[in-house]
Protein backbone atom coordinates (compact mmCIF):
# COMPACT_ATOMS: atom_id res chain seq x y z
CA UNK A 1 0.00 0.00 0.00
CA UNK A 2 1.61 3.35 -1.01
CA UNK A 3 2.45 5.75 1.78
CA UNK A 4 2.95 9.50 1.44
CA UNK A 5 4.62 11.73 4.00
CA UNK A 6 4.27 15.49 3.59
CA UNK A 7 6.27 17.75 5.91
CA UNK A 8 5.48 21.44 6.16
CA UNK A 9 6.90 24.19 8.34
CA UNK A 10 4.89 24.94 11.46
CA UNK A 11 6.33 28.48 11.49
CA UNK A 12 5.46 30.93 8.68
CA UNK A 13 3.58 28.07 7.04
CA UNK A 14 2.23 30.12 4.15
CA UNK A 15 5.65 31.31 2.98
CA UNK A 16 7.11 27.82 2.85
CA UNK A 17 3.97 26.28 1.34
CA UNK A 18 3.96 28.79 -1.51
CA UNK A 19 7.72 28.69 -2.21
CA UNK A 20 8.13 24.92 -1.81
CA UNK A 21 4.87 23.54 -3.25
CA UNK A 22 3.04 26.21 -5.24
CA UNK A 23 6.02 27.88 -6.96
CA UNK A 24 6.94 24.78 -9.05
CA UNK A 25 3.31 24.60 -10.19
CA UNK A 26 3.14 28.18 -11.50
CA UNK A 27 6.46 27.75 -13.28
CA UNK A 28 5.37 24.54 -15.03
CA UNK A 29 1.94 25.93 -15.89
CA UNK A 30 3.35 29.32 -16.95
CA UNK A 31 0.89 31.14 -14.74
CA UNK A 32 0.97 34.93 -14.88
CA UNK A 33 -1.21 35.72 -11.85
CA UNK A 34 -1.87 34.41 -8.36
CA UNK A 35 -4.61 35.10 -5.82
CA UNK A 36 -3.59 34.38 -2.24
CA UNK A 37 -6.42 34.34 0.29
CA UNK A 38 -5.27 34.72 3.89
CA UNK A 39 -7.26 33.83 7.02
CA UNK A 40 -8.95 36.41 9.23
CA UNK A 41 -9.63 34.73 12.56
CA UNK A 42 -11.78 35.87 15.49
CA UNK A 43 -9.77 37.68 18.15
CA UNK A 44 -6.69 38.13 15.93
CA UNK A 45 -5.54 41.33 14.25
CA UNK A 46 -7.24 41.39 10.80
CA UNK A 47 -3.88 41.81 9.08
CA UNK A 48 -1.94 39.32 11.17
CA UNK A 49 -1.93 36.48 8.60
CA UNK A 50 -1.36 38.90 5.73
CA UNK A 51 1.84 39.95 7.50
CA UNK A 52 2.75 36.34 8.27
CA UNK A 53 2.85 35.67 4.50
CA UNK A 54 5.61 38.30 4.11
CA UNK A 55 7.79 38.50 1.98
CA UNK A 56 5.77 36.63 -0.65
CA UNK A 57 4.94 39.89 -2.47
CA UNK A 58 8.67 40.29 -3.22
CA UNK A 59 8.86 36.67 -4.40
CA UNK A 60 5.90 37.19 -6.75
CA UNK A 61 7.44 40.41 -8.10
CA UNK A 62 10.76 38.67 -8.77
CA UNK A 63 8.93 35.84 -10.58
CA UNK A 64 7.00 38.29 -12.76
CA UNK A 65 3.72 37.11 -11.25
CA UNK A 66 0.89 39.57 -10.66
CA UNK A 67 -0.43 39.02 -7.15
CA UNK A 68 -3.62 39.78 -5.29
CA UNK A 69 -3.97 39.28 -1.53
CA UNK A 70 -7.56 38.72 -0.40
CA UNK A 71 -8.96 38.51 3.13
CA UNK A 72 -10.69 35.21 3.86
CA UNK A 73 -14.30 35.09 5.00
CA UNK A 74 -14.77 31.61 6.50
CA UNK A 75 -12.85 32.05 9.83
CA UNK A 76 -10.73 28.94 9.20
CA UNK A 77 -6.92 28.86 9.62
CA UNK A 78 -6.38 28.20 5.92
CA UNK A 79 -4.43 29.95 3.20
CA UNK A 80 -5.75 29.39 -0.32
CA UNK A 81 -3.89 29.98 -3.58
CA UNK A 82 -5.33 30.21 -7.09
CA UNK A 83 -3.13 30.28 -10.19
CA UNK A 84 -4.25 32.01 -13.38
CA UNK A 85 -3.14 32.55 -16.96
CA UNK A 86 -5.13 35.50 -18.15
CA UNK A 87 -8.72 34.78 -17.13
CA UNK A 88 -8.20 31.00 -17.08
CA UNK A 89 -7.96 29.32 -13.68
CA UNK A 90 -5.14 26.78 -13.76
CA UNK A 91 -5.03 25.42 -10.20
CA UNK A 92 -6.38 25.98 -6.72
CA UNK A 93 -5.19 24.61 -3.38
CA UNK A 94 -5.16 25.33 0.33
CA UNK A 95 -2.82 25.01 3.29
CA UNK A 96 -3.72 24.52 6.94
CA UNK A 97 -1.95 26.80 9.43
CA UNK A 98 -1.37 25.03 12.77
CA UNK A 99 -2.19 27.32 15.69
CA UNK A 100 -2.61 27.04 19.43
CA UNK A 101 -4.32 29.46 21.78
CA UNK A 102 -2.09 30.71 24.57
CA UNK A 103 -1.72 33.59 27.00
CA UNK A 104 1.04 36.12 26.41
CA UNK A 105 3.08 37.43 29.39
CA UNK A 106 1.01 40.61 29.45
CA UNK A 107 -2.21 38.63 29.82
CA UNK A 108 -3.60 38.73 26.26
CA UNK A 109 -5.04 35.61 24.62
CA UNK A 110 -3.23 35.09 21.33
CA UNK A 111 -2.90 32.52 18.55
CA UNK A 112 0.62 31.12 18.22
CA UNK A 113 2.26 28.63 15.84
CA UNK A 114 2.41 25.03 16.94
CA UNK A 115 3.40 21.70 15.46
CA UNK A 116 0.68 19.44 14.14
CA UNK A 117 0.46 15.77 13.17
CA UNK A 118 -2.29 14.48 10.87
CA UNK A 119 -2.51 10.81 9.92
CA UNK A 120 -5.00 9.64 7.30
CA UNK A 121 -5.80 6.15 6.04
CA UNK A 122 -7.87 6.54 2.92
CA UNK A 123 -10.84 8.70 3.85
CA UNK A 124 -10.38 8.06 7.56
CA UNK A 125 -8.46 10.53 9.76
CA UNK A 126 -6.73 8.43 12.41
CA UNK A 127 -4.90 11.29 14.17
CA UNK A 128 -5.20 15.08 13.98
CA UNK A 129 -3.63 16.78 16.98
CA UNK A 130 -1.09 19.51 17.86
CA UNK A 131 2.49 18.50 18.63
CA UNK A 132 4.56 21.03 20.63
CA UNK A 133 7.74 22.26 18.98
CA UNK A 134 11.06 22.92 20.68
CA UNK A 135 10.29 26.64 20.73
CA UNK A 136 6.93 26.08 22.42
CA UNK A 137 8.37 23.72 25.01
CA UNK A 138 11.00 26.26 25.97
CA UNK A 139 8.54 29.19 26.06
CA UNK A 140 6.06 27.24 28.18
CA UNK A 141 8.84 26.39 30.64
CA UNK A 142 10.09 30.00 30.76
CA UNK A 143 6.58 31.31 31.45
CA UNK A 144 5.85 28.68 34.09
CA UNK A 145 9.21 28.70 35.88
CA UNK A 146 11.33 31.78 35.23
CA UNK A 147 8.80 34.61 34.99
CA UNK A 148 7.07 33.81 38.32
CA UNK A 149 10.47 33.83 40.06
CA UNK A 150 11.28 37.22 38.50
CA UNK A 151 7.95 38.69 39.61
CA UNK A 152 8.57 37.39 43.12
CA UNK A 153 11.94 39.18 43.14
CA UNK A 154 10.24 42.36 41.94
CA UNK A 155 7.93 42.24 44.95
CA UNK A 156 10.90 42.13 47.33
CA UNK A 157 12.14 45.62 46.41
CA UNK A 158 10.55 49.04 46.37
CA UNK A 159 13.13 50.84 44.21
CA UNK A 160 12.12 49.39 40.82
CA UNK A 161 15.21 47.19 40.54
CA UNK A 162 14.73 43.44 40.07
CA UNK A 163 18.03 41.90 38.99
CA UNK A 164 21.42 43.16 37.91
CA UNK A 165 21.71 40.64 35.09
CA UNK A 166 19.34 38.03 33.72
CA UNK A 167 21.11 35.76 31.22
CA UNK A 168 19.27 33.16 29.14
CA UNK A 169 21.28 30.78 26.94
CA UNK A 170 19.25 28.62 24.60
CA UNK A 171 19.99 25.89 22.04
CA UNK A 172 17.13 24.83 19.74
CA UNK A 173 16.79 22.35 16.89
CA UNK A 174 15.02 24.85 14.61
CA UNK A 175 17.40 26.12 11.91
CA UNK A 176 18.10 29.76 11.04
CA UNK A 177 17.32 30.34 7.37
CA UNK A 178 18.49 33.20 5.15
CA UNK A 179 15.91 33.76 2.41
CA UNK A 180 16.84 34.56 -1.18
CA UNK A 181 14.74 37.72 -1.26
CA UNK A 182 15.42 41.16 0.23
CA UNK A 183 17.41 40.99 3.48
CA UNK A 184 14.99 38.50 5.01
CA UNK A 185 15.57 35.66 7.42
CA UNK A 186 13.35 33.17 9.17
CA UNK A 187 14.72 32.38 12.59
CA UNK A 188 12.88 30.91 15.56
CA UNK A 189 16.02 31.42 17.67
CA UNK A 190 16.01 35.15 16.97
CA UNK A 191 12.25 35.28 17.58
CA UNK A 192 12.69 33.65 20.98
CA UNK A 193 15.36 36.15 22.04
CA UNK A 194 12.76 38.83 21.27
CA UNK A 195 10.16 36.94 23.31
CA UNK A 196 12.54 36.55 26.24
CA UNK A 197 13.50 40.23 26.31
CA UNK A 198 10.15 41.88 25.63
CA UNK A 199 8.10 39.12 27.27
CA UNK A 200 9.98 39.61 30.53
CA UNK A 201 9.37 43.34 30.32
CA UNK A 202 5.68 42.75 29.45
CA UNK A 203 5.23 40.53 32.48
CA UNK A 204 6.79 43.16 34.75
CA UNK A 205 4.62 45.91 33.24
CA UNK A 206 1.49 43.86 33.79
CA UNK A 207 2.59 43.02 37.34
CA UNK A 208 3.12 46.71 38.15
CA UNK A 209 0.11 48.04 36.17
CA UNK A 210 2.47 49.93 33.87
CA UNK A 211 1.25 50.89 30.36
CA UNK A 212 2.68 48.76 27.55
CA UNK A 213 4.15 51.87 25.88
CA UNK A 214 6.11 52.91 28.98
CA UNK A 215 9.90 52.77 28.81
CA UNK A 216 10.86 53.84 32.31
CA UNK A 217 10.97 50.51 34.17
CA UNK A 218 14.44 49.67 35.51
CA UNK A 219 14.45 45.91 36.17
CA UNK A 220 18.08 45.42 35.09
CA UNK A 221 19.94 43.96 32.12
CA UNK A 222 18.26 41.11 30.19
CA UNK A 223 20.62 39.15 27.93
CA UNK A 224 19.10 36.36 25.81
CA UNK A 225 21.34 34.31 23.50
CA UNK A 226 19.86 31.59 21.27
CA UNK A 227 21.70 29.26 18.92
CA UNK A 228 20.29 26.95 16.27
CA UNK A 229 21.56 23.38 16.75
CA UNK A 230 19.59 21.25 14.24
CA UNK A 231 19.37 17.57 15.09
CA UNK A 232 20.29 18.06 18.73
CA UNK A 233 18.23 18.07 21.90
CA UNK A 234 17.12 21.47 23.17
CA UNK A 235 18.99 23.08 26.06
CA UNK A 236 18.22 26.14 28.19
CA UNK A 237 20.28 27.73 30.96
CA UNK A 238 19.16 30.75 32.98
CA UNK A 239 21.35 32.64 35.43
CA UNK A 240 20.43 35.67 37.49
CA UNK A 241 22.57 38.13 39.43
CA UNK A 242 20.74 40.03 42.14
CA UNK A 243 21.36 43.62 43.17
CA UNK A 244 22.99 44.45 46.44
CA UNK A 245 22.69 48.15 47.14
CA UNK A 246 21.03 50.32 44.52
CA UNK A 247 23.52 51.94 42.10
CA UNK A 248 24.48 55.52 42.93
CA UNK A 249 25.31 58.21 40.42
CA UNK A 250 28.64 59.93 40.97
CA UNK A 251 29.81 63.25 39.56
CA UNK A 252 31.18 62.79 36.04
CA UNK A 253 34.91 63.05 35.52
CA UNK A 254 36.56 63.61 32.14
CA UNK A 255 38.53 60.39 31.52
CA UNK A 256 41.17 62.31 29.57
CA UNK A 257 41.17 59.90 26.64
CA UNK A 258 44.27 60.32 24.47
CA UNK A 259 43.49 61.45 20.94
CA UNK A 260 43.05 58.34 18.73
CA UNK A 261 43.99 56.21 21.74
CA UNK A 262 46.06 54.14 19.35
CA UNK A 263 42.94 53.49 17.27
CA UNK A 264 42.88 54.96 13.77
CA UNK A 265 39.38 56.07 12.85
CA UNK A 266 35.90 54.72 13.29
CA UNK A 267 34.78 51.67 11.32
CA UNK A 268 32.78 52.79 8.30
CA UNK A 269 30.90 49.65 7.23
CA UNK A 270 29.84 48.11 10.52
CA UNK A 271 29.27 49.05 14.18
CA UNK A 272 32.35 50.47 15.88
CA UNK A 273 33.47 49.62 19.42
CA UNK A 274 32.77 52.47 21.87
CA UNK A 275 36.49 53.19 22.28
CA UNK A 276 36.83 53.88 18.55
CA UNK A 277 33.85 56.23 18.65
CA UNK A 278 35.28 58.16 21.61
CA UNK A 279 38.75 58.40 20.06
CA UNK A 280 37.38 59.59 16.71
CA UNK A 281 35.17 62.20 18.40
CA UNK A 282 38.09 63.61 20.34
CA UNK A 283 40.28 63.71 17.24
CA UNK A 284 37.60 65.62 15.32
CA UNK A 285 37.16 68.06 18.20
CA UNK A 286 40.89 68.89 18.13
CA UNK A 287 40.98 69.01 14.34
CA UNK A 288 38.22 71.64 14.18
CA UNK A 289 39.14 73.52 17.38
CA UNK A 290 35.95 72.45 19.12
CA UNK A 291 35.28 71.82 22.77
CA UNK A 292 35.36 68.34 24.24
CA UNK A 293 33.35 67.56 27.36
CA UNK A 294 32.25 64.48 29.29
CA UNK A 295 29.21 65.74 31.22
CA UNK A 296 27.87 62.28 32.05
CA UNK A 297 28.74 58.64 32.53
CA UNK A 298 26.69 55.51 31.97
CA UNK A 299 25.46 53.37 34.84
CA UNK A 300 28.44 51.05 34.24
CA UNK A 301 30.83 54.00 34.35
CA UNK A 302 31.49 54.54 30.62
CA UNK A 303 31.90 58.17 29.43
CA UNK A 304 29.32 60.05 27.34
CA UNK A 305 31.48 62.58 25.45
CA UNK A 306 30.09 65.68 23.74
CA UNK A 307 31.76 67.63 20.93
CA UNK A 308 30.65 71.24 21.31
CA UNK A 309 30.72 74.75 19.94
CA UNK A 310 28.89 77.19 22.20
CA UNK A 311 29.43 80.82 21.20
CA UNK A 312 27.64 83.18 23.61
CA UNK A 313 24.76 85.12 22.07
CA UNK A 314 24.23 82.67 19.18
CA UNK A 315 20.67 81.31 19.42
CA UNK A 316 18.97 78.40 17.67
CA UNK A 317 21.72 75.85 18.07
CA UNK A 318 21.69 72.28 16.77
CA UNK A 319 21.86 69.14 18.89
CA UNK A 320 22.88 65.84 17.26
CA UNK A 321 22.52 62.58 19.18
CA UNK A 322 23.09 58.97 18.17
CA UNK A 323 23.30 55.56 19.75
CA UNK A 324 20.37 56.09 22.14
CA UNK A 325 19.24 52.60 21.11
CA UNK A 326 22.54 50.81 20.79
CA UNK A 327 21.46 48.06 18.38
CA UNK A 328 20.63 50.77 15.83
CA UNK A 329 24.09 50.93 14.41
CA UNK A 330 24.56 53.47 11.60
CA UNK A 331 23.72 56.60 13.60
CA UNK A 332 26.97 56.91 15.61
CA UNK A 333 29.08 56.72 12.44
CA UNK A 334 26.94 59.37 10.74
CA UNK A 335 27.05 61.64 13.82
CA UNK A 336 30.83 61.57 13.78
CA UNK A 337 31.01 62.31 10.06
CA UNK A 338 28.59 65.22 10.45
CA UNK A 339 30.87 67.04 12.91
CA UNK A 340 33.02 68.34 10.05
CA UNK A 341 30.02 69.79 8.19
CA UNK A 342 28.66 71.43 11.35
CA UNK A 343 32.08 72.93 12.04
CA UNK A 344 31.90 74.72 8.67
CA UNK A 345 28.74 76.60 9.74
CA UNK A 346 28.31 79.47 12.18
CA UNK A 347 25.81 77.60 14.34
CA UNK A 348 26.23 76.58 17.92
CA UNK A 349 26.04 72.80 18.05
CA UNK A 350 26.64 69.75 20.19
CA UNK A 351 27.21 66.21 18.94
CA UNK A 352 26.79 63.21 21.24
CA UNK A 353 27.89 60.33 19.01
CA UNK A 354 27.15 57.52 21.47
CA UNK A 355 24.52 58.10 24.15
CA UNK A 356 24.27 54.49 25.33
CA UNK A 357 27.77 52.96 25.54
CA UNK A 358 26.66 50.19 27.91
CA UNK A 359 24.17 49.00 25.31
CA UNK A 360 26.79 49.36 22.56
CA UNK A 361 29.23 47.21 24.52
CA UNK A 362 26.58 44.52 25.02
CA UNK A 363 25.55 44.72 21.36
CA UNK A 364 29.14 44.18 20.27
CA UNK A 365 29.40 41.08 22.46
CA UNK A 366 26.10 39.65 21.21
CA UNK A 367 26.92 40.18 17.53
CA UNK A 368 30.09 38.14 17.94
CA UNK A 369 27.76 35.21 18.67
CA UNK A 370 24.83 35.95 16.36
CA UNK A 371 25.62 38.75 13.87
CA UNK A 372 22.28 38.32 12.03
CA UNK A 373 20.05 38.74 15.11
CA UNK A 374 18.48 42.11 15.97
CA UNK A 375 19.53 42.04 19.64
CA UNK A 376 16.95 44.37 21.14
CA UNK A 377 18.43 43.32 24.47
CA UNK A 378 21.04 46.03 23.75
CA UNK A 379 18.42 48.64 22.90
CA UNK A 380 18.11 50.26 26.32
CA UNK A 381 20.43 51.03 29.22
CA UNK A 382 21.98 48.64 31.73
CA UNK A 383 19.06 49.40 34.05
CA UNK A 384 16.56 48.40 31.37
CA UNK A 385 15.00 51.83 30.75
CA UNK A 386 15.16 54.14 27.76
CA UNK A 387 17.40 57.09 28.61
CA UNK A 388 14.94 59.46 26.93
CA UNK A 389 12.24 58.41 29.41
CA UNK A 390 14.40 59.88 32.19
CA UNK A 391 14.27 63.27 30.48
CA UNK A 392 10.49 63.09 30.16
CA UNK A 393 10.22 62.30 33.85
CA UNK A 394 12.48 65.24 34.71
CA UNK A 395 15.19 62.91 36.06
CA UNK A 396 18.18 63.19 33.67
CA UNK A 397 20.31 60.66 35.54
CA UNK A 398 23.40 58.89 34.19
CA UNK A 399 23.33 58.80 30.36
CA UNK A 400 20.44 61.28 30.05
CA UNK A 401 22.46 64.06 31.70
CA UNK A 402 24.58 64.49 28.57
CA UNK A 403 21.63 65.35 26.31
CA UNK A 404 20.08 67.76 28.81
CA UNK A 405 23.45 69.46 29.39
CA UNK A 406 24.23 69.79 25.66
CA UNK A 407 20.84 71.31 24.84
CA UNK A 408 21.26 73.91 27.56
CA UNK A 409 24.84 74.80 26.54
CA UNK A 410 23.94 75.35 22.88
CA UNK A 411 20.41 76.72 23.17
CA UNK A 412 19.46 74.10 20.60
CA UNK A 413 16.09 74.56 18.90
CA UNK A 414 16.69 71.73 16.41
CA UNK A 415 17.42 68.18 17.54
CA UNK A 416 18.73 65.61 15.06
CA UNK A 417 18.20 62.22 16.70
CA UNK A 418 19.72 59.38 14.65
CA UNK A 419 18.02 56.00 15.00
CA UNK A 420 17.36 52.73 13.19
CA UNK A 421 15.01 49.78 13.09
CA UNK A 422 15.12 46.13 11.92
CA UNK A 423 16.31 45.47 8.38
CA UNK A 424 14.25 42.27 8.27
CA UNK A 425 10.88 41.19 9.61
CA UNK A 426 10.45 41.64 13.37
CA UNK A 427 8.21 39.05 15.00
CA UNK A 428 7.14 37.69 18.37
CA UNK A 429 5.37 34.46 17.39
CA UNK A 430 4.09 33.57 20.88
CA UNK A 431 2.72 37.05 21.64
CA UNK A 432 0.43 37.66 18.67
CA UNK A 433 3.10 37.55 15.91
CA UNK A 434 3.74 41.27 15.32
CA UNK A 435 5.93 42.77 18.09
CA UNK A 436 3.50 43.96 20.75
CA UNK A 437 3.74 47.73 21.17
CA UNK A 438 5.91 48.06 18.05
CA UNK A 439 3.55 46.57 15.45
CA UNK A 440 4.02 49.38 12.94
CA UNK A 441 7.78 48.68 12.81
CA UNK A 442 7.42 44.96 12.06
CA UNK A 443 8.24 45.22 8.33
CA UNK A 444 11.09 47.27 6.85
CA UNK A 445 9.84 50.11 4.64
CA UNK A 446 13.09 51.81 3.65
CA UNK A 447 14.67 54.86 5.26
CA UNK A 448 11.99 56.64 7.33
CA UNK A 449 12.16 60.19 8.67
CA UNK A 450 10.10 61.31 11.68
CA UNK A 451 9.49 64.92 12.65
CA UNK A 452 8.30 65.77 16.14
CA UNK A 453 7.14 69.31 16.72
CA UNK A 454 5.86 71.34 19.61
CA UNK A 455 2.28 72.65 19.50
CA UNK A 456 2.10 75.54 17.03
CA UNK A 457 5.11 74.31 15.01
CA UNK A 458 3.29 72.09 12.54
CA UNK A 459 3.83 74.36 9.52
CA UNK A 460 7.62 74.81 10.08
CA UNK A 461 7.94 71.04 10.64
CA UNK A 462 6.13 70.28 7.39
CA UNK A 463 8.33 72.73 5.48
CA UNK A 464 11.42 71.08 6.90
CA UNK A 465 10.07 67.64 5.97
CA UNK A 466 9.57 68.85 2.42
CA UNK A 467 13.15 70.12 2.23
CA UNK A 468 14.50 66.81 3.59
CA UNK A 469 12.37 64.70 1.25
CA UNK A 470 13.51 66.64 -1.81
CA UNK A 471 17.15 66.01 -0.87
CA UNK A 472 16.62 62.29 -0.11
CA UNK A 473 14.73 61.70 -3.37
CA UNK A 474 17.80 62.87 -5.31
CA UNK A 475 19.82 59.89 -4.01
CA UNK A 476 19.01 57.03 -6.42
CA UNK A 477 20.43 54.39 -4.11
CA UNK A 478 18.43 55.39 -1.02
CA UNK A 479 15.27 56.20 -3.01
CA UNK A 480 15.53 52.95 -4.96
CA UNK A 481 15.91 50.91 -1.78
CA UNK A 482 12.88 52.65 -0.26
CA UNK A 483 10.76 51.98 -3.36
CA UNK A 484 11.58 48.25 -3.31
CA UNK A 485 11.01 47.95 0.44
CA UNK A 486 7.73 49.88 0.26
CA UNK A 487 6.38 47.64 -2.49
CA UNK A 488 7.25 44.51 -0.50
CA UNK A 489 5.99 45.71 2.89
CA UNK A 490 2.87 47.64 1.84
CA UNK A 491 1.42 44.51 0.23
CA UNK A 492 1.53 42.82 3.65
CA UNK A 493 0.46 45.79 5.75
CA UNK A 494 -3.19 46.85 6.03
CA UNK A 495 -2.42 50.23 7.67
CA UNK A 496 0.99 51.79 6.93
CA UNK A 497 1.97 54.24 9.68
CA UNK A 498 3.74 56.72 7.39
CA UNK A 499 2.94 59.16 4.60
CA UNK A 500 4.96 59.52 1.42
CA UNK A 501 6.65 62.83 0.59
CA UNK A 502 8.45 62.75 -2.77
CA UNK A 503 8.26 58.96 -2.57
CA UNK A 504 9.99 58.73 0.82
CA UNK A 505 8.21 57.61 4.01
CA UNK A 506 7.70 60.30 6.68
CA UNK A 507 5.89 60.53 10.01
CA UNK A 508 4.94 63.97 11.38
CA UNK A 509 3.47 64.21 14.85
CA UNK A 510 2.95 66.77 17.60
CA UNK A 511 5.12 65.97 20.61
CA UNK A 512 4.90 68.52 23.45
CA UNK A 513 7.43 66.59 25.56
CA UNK A 514 10.20 66.83 22.95
CA UNK A 515 13.43 68.55 24.00
CA UNK A 516 13.39 71.06 21.13
CA UNK A 517 10.67 72.78 19.06
CA UNK A 518 11.54 70.49 16.12
CA UNK A 519 13.13 67.06 16.41
CA UNK A 520 14.16 65.14 13.29
CA UNK A 521 14.44 61.41 13.94
CA UNK A 522 16.09 59.32 11.26
CA UNK A 523 15.10 55.65 11.11
CA UNK A 524 17.45 53.54 8.99
CA UNK A 525 16.64 49.84 8.56
CA UNK A 526 20.11 49.09 9.88
CA UNK A 527 19.81 46.35 12.49
CA UNK A 528 21.94 43.39 11.25
CA UNK A 529 23.41 45.12 8.17
CA UNK A 530 27.07 45.41 7.24
CA UNK A 531 29.22 46.49 4.30
CA UNK A 532 27.74 48.51 1.41
CA UNK A 533 24.18 48.73 2.85
CA UNK A 534 25.64 50.08 6.10
CA UNK A 535 27.46 52.81 4.21
CA UNK A 536 24.32 53.63 2.21
CA UNK A 537 22.34 54.34 5.36
CA UNK A 538 25.15 56.36 6.93
CA UNK A 539 24.93 58.49 3.79
CA UNK A 540 21.15 58.74 4.18
CA UNK A 541 21.51 60.01 7.77
CA UNK A 542 23.99 62.60 6.54
CA UNK A 543 21.67 63.71 3.74
CA UNK A 544 18.84 64.29 6.21
CA UNK A 545 21.11 66.09 8.68
CA UNK A 546 22.54 68.38 5.99
CA UNK A 547 19.10 69.23 4.59
CA UNK A 548 17.64 69.89 8.05
CA UNK A 549 20.50 72.11 9.20
CA UNK A 550 20.56 74.05 5.92
CA UNK A 551 16.82 74.69 6.20
CA UNK A 552 17.11 75.54 9.90
CA UNK A 553 19.89 78.09 9.35
CA UNK A 554 18.10 79.67 6.42
CA UNK A 555 14.87 80.09 8.39
CA UNK A 556 16.65 81.49 11.44
CA UNK A 557 19.24 83.76 9.78
Count of C-beta atoms within a 10 Å radius of residue 289: 8
> Measured between alpha carbons, how far is 473 from 469 in angstroms, rounded to an integer?
6
The model's confidence at residue 258, banded by pLDDT at 50, 70 and 90, is very low
CA 123 vs CA 2, 7, 77, 93, 135: distances in Å: 14, 19, 21, 18, 32
Strands 412-422, 518-527: parallel, antiparallel or unpaired by DSSP?
parallel
Tell me, yes or no, if the pTM score tops 0.85. yes
Residue 540 falls in which region: left (phi positive, over 0), alpha (psi -120 to 50) or beta: alpha
Question: What pLDDT is attached to residue 368?
Answer: 94
Q: What is the mean pLDDT of residues 340-362?
A: 96
For 184, list phi and psi in degrees, rounded to 5: -85, 150
Q: CA 393, CA 26: separation in Å to the nearest integer?
A: 57
Q: What is the 3-class SS of 303-371, one letter each residue?
A: EEEEEEECCCCCCCEEEEEECCCCCCCHHHHHHHHHHHHHHCCCCCEEEECCCCHHHHHHHHHHHHHCC
**Cα–Cα dist 523/421, whole Å:** 6
Q: What is the pLDDT of residue 259?
A: 47
pLDDT 10s digits, 400-427: 999 999 999 999 999 999 999 999 999 9
- 485 neighbors 442 (Cβ within 8 angstroms): no
pLDDT-derived band at 256 (thresholds 50, 70, 90) equals low
Helix orientation angle between 458-473 and 476-490, rounded to the nearest 10 degrees? 110
Task: For residue 225, list its beta bridge partners.
Answer: 169
Band (254; pLDDT cuts 50, 70, 90): low
Tell me the mean pLDDT in the region 218-244.
Answer: 93
Closest listed residue to residue 148, CA positions, set 188, 102, 114, 199: 199
What is the average pLDDT score of the chain? 93
Please state the rounded mean pLDDT for residues 433-451. Answer: 95
Report how far residue 193's alpha carbon sits from residue 223's, in angstroms, rounded to the nearest whole number: 8
Going by pLDDT thresholds of 50, 70 and 90, the confidence category of residue 43 is confident
Q: What is the pLDDT of residues 58-97, one digit of tens each?
A: 999 999 999 999 999 988 999 999 999 999 999 999 999 9
Q: Give the pLDDT confidence of 485-509 residue by residue, as tens digits.
A: 999 999 999 988 999 999 999 999 9
User: Does 262 have pLDDT greater than 50?
Assistant: no
Q: How does pLDDT run across 317-334, given as a tens digit for each residue?
A: 999 999 999 999 999 999
Amino acid sequence: MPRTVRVRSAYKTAYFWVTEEVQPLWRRAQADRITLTYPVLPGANPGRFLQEAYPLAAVFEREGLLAEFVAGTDSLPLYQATLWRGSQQLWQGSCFTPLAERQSPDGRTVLAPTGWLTVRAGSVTAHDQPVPTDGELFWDWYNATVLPAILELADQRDDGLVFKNLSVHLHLSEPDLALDVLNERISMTEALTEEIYFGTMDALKRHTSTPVSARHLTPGRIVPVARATPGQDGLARVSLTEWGDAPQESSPVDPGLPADGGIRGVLLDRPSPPARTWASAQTLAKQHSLEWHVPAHSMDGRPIPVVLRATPGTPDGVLVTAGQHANETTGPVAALEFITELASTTANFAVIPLENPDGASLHRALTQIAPEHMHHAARYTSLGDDLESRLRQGRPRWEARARAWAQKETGASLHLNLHGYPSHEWVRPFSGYAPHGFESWALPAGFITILWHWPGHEVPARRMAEAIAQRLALDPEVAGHAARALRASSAHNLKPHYELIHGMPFILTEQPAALCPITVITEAPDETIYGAPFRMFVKAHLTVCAAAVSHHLQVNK
